[in-house]
Amino acid sequence: MPHYVASLRPYVAGRSTEEVKQTYGLSHVVKLASNENPLGPSPLALEQMRSVLDHLHLYPTGLDLRKHLADRFGTKIENVITGSGSEGIMANIVRTFLCDEDEALTSEGTFIGFEVLARGRGIPFRTVPLRADYHIDLPALAAAINERTKLIYLANPNNPTGTIFTKQEFDAFYRHVPERVLIILDEAYFEYAKDNARYPDSMFYRYDNVITLRTFSKIYGLAGVRIGYGFAHEELIANLMKVKLPFEPSMLGNAAGIGAIEDREFLHRSLESNARVMRRLRDQLLQIGFQPVSSDANFLMIPIASAEEAQRLTQSLVERGVIIRYLANFGLPNCVRLTIGTDEENEFLIDTMKQVLVNA
Ligand SMILES: Cc1ncc(COP(=O)(O)O)c(C=O)c1O
């Protein structure tokens, strides 16, 4: 067993509603821990998936989500890759580009999926601290690049902070990145941020060493199908295509993506609901004494006075049927993250938080 695999800790997913119901003897549980879309899956994605059910005995060929994505985003099919979630594409990036002598670089307090994949390949991973305001510190990352740095992973908006770095900040950072260094821009939450004029939608400026990753898991409500996509220079994509599993993504994943990308109605409904409930939740949290960090995504992070209190809040909420995410595994032991739910889920969350605070 390679030592870097033996020493890995497996990914711990959020607790499921069924498990929490059973453990605490509850009949009503809401899960606000995994940044899933509370409105369910895109109806057009479901329709497309139903249309392929009778063909699932066949290997997935013919249905080309890549072509649909190229048309939708005004690029060539040679610049598009799809995979089993954006994490599936990250796994391909690790296999395709990282060699033994390379290092990867990212921020603390960010999505750990890429780090787990890189460590699973024995790639040293260096991080720089978040800024005091929980934003990714791009100047510190630029200063940390060395001759072994092969890849920089940046999530924008960042999970779990919900913060973004701006066009100006990214442009200044990019000038310091040598051409040989690949940058992954993980835009899993870009739909929630794209109307913010300061947000650098990476499709508007293509750099040869930038790979954009996006997903159908979040705004399109398709986390269970495992379908994501990415854009990059055709040479990078051509090499990723050599390494990718031949029949990934699945026929259902392809169909779901083709349906979802046309589902403007669901996209707008999801954005509207998220913005409305997030505004309300923010106000309610401020009223009861919390200071959530401003978010451009579908979740809010709250710094708590201490790690013990953050852990206690998470535990007290789950015992009453609200699953939130305690962020020790993200390197933020005094923070919790709340996914934006429906209006009803949000009222249940706030009522339960008030109960917990009274009892404390
Ligand atoms: C920043 C970020 N990237 C990627 C993912 C995983 O996305 P996918 O379901 O497409 O693998 C997540 C999921 O939480 C995420 O927060």
- Atom 8 of ligand 1 has which residue's CA nearest to it? 85
Per the DSSP assignment, residues forming a β-bridge with 83 are 228
Which whole-number Å values give the CA distances from 261 to 156, 168, 341, in the listed order? 20, 29, 22
CA of 356 from ligand 1 middle (Å) equals 30
Q: φ, ψ for residue 337 (rounded to 5)?
A: -125, 135
Tell me whether the CATH fold assigned to 3-41+265-359 matches the one assigned to 44-263.
no
Model confidence pTM above 0.75: yes
What span, in angstroms and rounded, lies between the C-alpha atoms of 107 and 16? 28
Question: What architecture is the 44-263 domain classified under in CATH?
Answer: 3-Layer(aba) Sandwich (3.40)
Q: What is the pLDDT along the chain (360 residues), one digit of tens a residue?
A: 999 889 887 777 778 999 999 999 999 999 999 999 999 999 999 999 999 999 999 999 766 899 999 999 999 999 999 999 999 999 999 999 999 999 999 999 999 999 899 999 999 999 999 999 999 999 999 999 999 999 999 999 999 999 999 999 999 999 999 999 999 999 999 999 999 999 998 888 789 999 999 999 999 999 999 999 999 999 999 999 999 999 999 999 999 999 999 999 999 999 999 999 999 999 999 999 999 999 999 999 999 999 999 999 999 999 999 999 999 999 999 999 999 999 999 999 999 999 999 887
Listed by start position, the domains of the chain span 3-41+265-359, 44-263
Q: Which of 187, 217, 248, 250 to mutate to test the pocket of ligand 1 (most atoms within 8 A of CB)?
A: 217
- C-beta separation of 237 from 79 below 8 A: yes
What number does the ligand 1 atom closest to the CA of 86 have? 10
Which amino acids bring their CB within 6 angstroms of ligand 1? 35, 85-87, 111, 113, 155, 159, 186, 188, 215, 217, 223, 228
- Atom 7 of ligand 1 has which residue's CA nearest to it? 86
Kindly report the CATH number that applies to the domain delimited by 3-41+265-359: 3.90.1150.10
What number does the ligand 1 atom closest to the CA of 157 have? 1
CA of 280 from ligand 1 middle (Å) equals 25
